[in-house]
Amino acid sequence: MDANTQLLFHWVPILLGLLLLIPFTAESVSKLFLKKWPSVSTRRGQLLASTVMFLIGGFTVSAHTLWIHNKASELGSGNFCAGDGVWDCSSVIGNEKWNVDPMLGLPWGLLGMLTFSVMLWLIVSICLDPMASWVRNHLTYLRIIGVIGVFVIFYLIYAEFAIGKLCQYCSTAHFAHVMTLLNSQLLLTIYDNRKWSNANADDVSGDEVRERKRKKGYVKPKSSAMNAPYEEE
């Protein structure tokens, strides 16, 4: 199986994330998950699920990139995803001058895995308890990481032009990252416009709100919060 065919597997969750992001297709796609996750019938639920899909795709393609990096380092060179055209990830990932970040010396694939893991933890935490008091903070952290990552992407694109080749695996990770940043902004907009729930935290009891504050935002949900439907304004 050639490298481009393998890359398609990483695009499966990313494309699913796109379908959940686009309002025109989100309604149809969300019906596939309604029985298990009723919240995907709402715009908030669709965007949360979309973000999870982007991050899964970003993580897996970063892991694959790290594997290519390690193989290239082990063998000294390789044609794991070489091509005759401009798309040639072997020439990029295997380039000794550009294949690690200049500050920490970590392979870009490993740095991508770490970044996507942190972002995935943030968004899954929100999915598990969407009414917690720290939800907006998590969304803000997600956006901050996304913005920082965009500058890193610009640097890596510059490296590709310096090498004279483009890396299809790297570009896939970049796309997943940018789409995650977009979703974080859309989710923050929903939250700030008081469309996160009927009236933000008004759909929980006063005792539960006080309990959340006492425990710094977390209260073990009585049932899966991801399954709890809500109405948008």
Structural domain tally of the chain? Answer: 1
Q: What percent of the chain lies above the pLDDT cut of 90?
A: 54
Separation of alpha carbons 46 and 40, rounded Å: 5
**Inside any domain, residue 231:** no
Average of per-residue pLDDT across 185-213: 65
Q: Give the integer Cα–Cα distance in Å for 72 and 90.
A: 8
> Rounded to two decimals, what is the model's pTM?
0.81
Q: Determine, yes or no, domain membership for 233.
A: no
Q: How far apart are CA 76 and CA 178, in angstroms?
A: 32
Q: For residue 156, is it within any domain?
A: yes
Distance of CA 21 to the CA centre of its chain: 13
Average confidence score pLDDT of the chain: 83
Domain presence at residue 232: no
pLDDT at 86: 79
Per-residue pLDDT, 216: 55
Which carries the bigger pLDDT value, residue 2 or residue 66? 66
Q: Is residue 230 part of a domain?
A: no
Owner of token pair 């990481």:
145
Q: Quick one: which of 99, 101, 27, 37 has its CA closest to 68?
A: 99
pLDDT confidence of residue 232 = 46
- Report yes or no on 127 lying in a domain: yes
* Rounded Cα–Cα distance for residues 43 and 210 (Å): 28
Least trusted range by pLDDT, from 50-54, 79-83, 88-92, 194-198: 79-83
* Placement of tokens 């550009």 in the chain: 98
217 sits in which H/E element: none
pLDDT of residue 112: 96
User: How far is residue 53's CA from residue 14's CA, in Å, rounded to a whole number?
Assistant: 6
Stretch 52-69: mean pLDDT: 95
> In whole angstroms, what is the distance from residue 197 CA to residue 225 CA?
12
Domain limits at 142? 3-225
pLDDT reported for residue 226: 45
Q: For residue 155, tell me if it sits in a domain.
A: yes
| Cα–Cα distance for residue pair 33/47, rounded to 1 Å | 13
In a domain, 176, yes or no: yes
Kindly tell me if the per-residue pLDDT of 88 is higher than 90. Answer: no
Instruction: Report, as an integer, the average pLDDT of 134-150.
Output: 97
